[in-house]
Amino acid sequence: PAASALELGGVKMAKDDIVRDDPTNNVPDTIFTKLGMQLHKRNQHPIGILKNAIYEYFDSNYPNKFNKFDDLCPIVSVKQNFDDVLVPADHVSRSYNDTYYVDSQTVLRCHTSAHQAELLKEHNHFLVTGDVYRRDSIDSTHYPVFHQMEGVSIFYPDEWGAAGLDATEYAAKDLKRCLEGLARHLFGAVEMRWVDTYFPFTNPSYELEIFFKENWLEVLGCGVTEQEILKRSGKSNNVAWAFGLGLERLAMVLFDIPDIRLFWSSDERFTSQFLQGQLGIKFKPFSKYPPCYKDMSFWINESFTENNLCEVVRGVAGDLVEEVRLIDNFTNEKGMTSHCYRIAYRSMECSLTDEEINELQWNVREQVQSKLNVVLR
């Protein structure tokens, strides 16, 4: 329900206080209405069940150690989201194409890492769960709102001293042991591997992958916290590790949920299938309705991006759009580039009539033309 007053992280605000017609605001209504839904706080929802299962792992292995936060406001400053975690000024994630800006200095957090620096000033070990927002393309595993859990843990000189390791080695070793244990807690005896990667806020940085149903699945990003972040939080004598994991990604695998849109469904045939505290339940699809495909071609311009296209399509079709896929792309002798996209429409709750789909497609064509200034072919 789209309430007009929001209370997030103890901060009450009228939704109307957010200036919606600011030219630097790129948050559409479809996203705006997700603020405050907090799926991760529903104990009978797969996202809440998974959050609780991860809490259970930390509580039993590290009793009373980690402070938990799950209602920090998702509207944060550019400083919190990017600067505080050392994201470079020219990093793509800062662009209007990738991030939702409420105004030029305020964003919908694109990761729970936005809270690291501030929490580090007061806490040594913590978990932060929350909804995060990213402009993205459309398919069964991508949705512009999803949920992450962040973990941070700091160490003292006597700890790595006693182990006879240098600080970074010690933290990296502890991190891997902790997360391998978490993966086993959630998935049982699975094959895992560590992959080196890059994040601005950790060094070294890793991804953990697990072998699941014949595929290597990336389950989280993590690493040893950059010393600069600790220094700025008044902890220069410590080292720390941090991780961030995507809850939908894991829940889709653990509960056999085939499409990420289902997490947002209020259809009882979805919501009634899950029980508090039960990670093992497999989702039984209620009859799958057929998809309907519509193609559209247009000449793009220099400012065209697929994320912008997807936002327009979602603005019209909401959760009835299952996928938007580029199926043809060519440039003619005059240097004009044409894209053809195939849009898959499918409701998860009922079958759609030809008239409904034609109407959606007609509106999509009209909006794509007027909002993106492209020329339909």
Q: Which residues bind ligand PHE (CB under 6 A)?
A: 111, 113, 150, 199, 201-202, 221-223, 242-244
Using CA atoms, how far apart are residues 193 and 206, in angstroms rounded to an integer?
A: 10
Nearer residue to ligand PHE within complex by CB, 150 or 174: 150
Question: Which backbone phi and psi does 174 adopt, to 5 degrees?
Answer: -65, -40
| β-bridge mates for residue 330, sequence order | 338
In the bound state with ligand PHE, the residue whose beta carbon lies nearer, of 238 and 347, is 238
Q: Which is nearer to ligand PHE, 20 or 91 (CB)?
A: 91
CB of 114 to ligand PHE, least distance (A): 9
Nearer to ligand PHE, 200 or 318 (CB): 200
User: Which residue number, 124 or 338, has a Cβ lying nearer to ligand PHE?
Assistant: 124
For residue 225, give the nearest of 155, 127, 131, 123 by alpha carbon: 155
Which residue is it, tokens 């989201």?
81
Query: Please, how many CA atoms are within 13 Å of residue 237, restricted to the half-sphere of its CB?
Result: 5
Q: How far is the CB of 108 from ligand PHE (least distance, A)?
A: 13
Answer yes or no: are the C-beta atoms of 54 and 186 closer than 8 Å: yes
Q: Is 134 or 346 the residue whose CB approaches ligand PHE more closely? A: 134
**Closer Cβ to ligand PHE, 135 or 346, answer by number:** 135
C-alpha to C-alpha distance for 94 and 101, rounded to whole angstroms: 9
Closest approach, Cβ 202 to ligand PHE, in A, equals 5
Which residues touch 111 (CB under 8 Å, ≥6 apart)?
81, 132, 148, 150, 244
**In this structure, which amino acid lies at residue 179?**
L
Least distance from C-beta 242 to ligand PHE, angstroms? Answer: 4
Residue 129 CA to residue 42 CA, distance in Å, equals 12
3-class secondary structure per residue, 140-166: CCECCEEEEEEEEEEECHHHHHHHCCC
Query: Closest separation between CB of residue 150 and ligand PHE, Å?
Result: 6
Nearer to ligand PHE, 219 or 364 (CB): 219
As a whole number of angstroms, the distance between CA 270 and CA 179 comes to 30
Question: Cβ of residue 85: shortest distance to ligand PHE, in angstroms?
Answer: 8
> Which residues make beta-bridge pairs with 126?
67, 152
Which residues on neighbouring strands pair with residue 195, listed in sequence order?
Answer: 207
73: its two tokens: 């406001």
Q: How far is CA 212 from CA 104, 143, 257, 356, in A?
A: 41, 22, 14, 38
Q: What is the closest distance, in whole angstroms, from the C-beta atom of residue 344 to ligand PHE in the complex?
A: 27
Q: How far is the CB of 36 from ligand PHE (least distance, A)?
A: 21
* Chain residue whose CB lies nearest ligand PHE: 244
Query: What phi and psi, each to the nearest 5 degrees, are found at residue 253?
Result: -75, -45
Question: Between 216 and 299, whose beta carbon lies closer to ligand PHE?
Answer: 216
Determine which helix (DSSP H) or strand (DSSP E) holds 364, and give its type and residue range. Answer: helix 354-372
Considering the complex, what minimum distance in angstroms separates the CB of residue 67 from ligand PHE? Answer: 17
CB of 274 to ligand PHE, least distance (A): 25
- Beta strands in the chain, from DSSP E residues, in sequence order: 5-8, 11-14, 67-69, 75-77, 101-103, 106-108, 125-133, 145-155, 192-199, 202-212, 215-225, 239-246, 292-299, 321-331, 337-345, 375-376
Nearer to ligand PHE, 20 or 231 (CB): 231
